[in-house]
Amino acid sequence: MARVLKNELRNLRDNLMTCFRETLPSKQFNSLLSLSIIWLHVLADRGKEIQDPEERRRLEDEFDQGKRAIEHGIRRLYEQTDEGSIEDLLTSPIRYLQRLRSAYHP
């Protein structure tokens, strides 16, 4: 079990790091996702020690729920970036803000 969780976790962590490089998350959101990855590491490590099948299922459910939450966060970061490109923000902040405003206030 722990080996499979570690592989899933490695892929998720790689996706998250790619997302951080391609988007500009807020400090709070960046911290939240980073701490969530750390918690999933803790769960995966605990999985190696658990012998009780019921407890293992509970741990896997918690891991899956955390993984889905992180994947949702990654999707939201990309969606926010698609609403206005980072290049626009850096080169023309006014145009970027106008585009965001029109997207939310038609």
Q: Block means of pLDDT (10 residues each) for the chain, length 106 residues?
A: 77 92 84 92 89 91 92 86 56 61 61
**Helix (H) / strand (E) containing 62:** helix 53-83
Q: How close are the terminal C-alpha atoms of the chain, in Å? A: 49
DSSP assignment letter at 23? S
pLDDT of residue 48: 83
Domain ranges of the chain: 2-104
Q: Which amino acid is at 16?
A: L
What confidence score (pLDDT) does residue 86 get?
53
pLDDT (0 to 100) of residue 1: 46
Q: How far, in whole angstroms, is CA 58 from its chain's centroid? A: 22
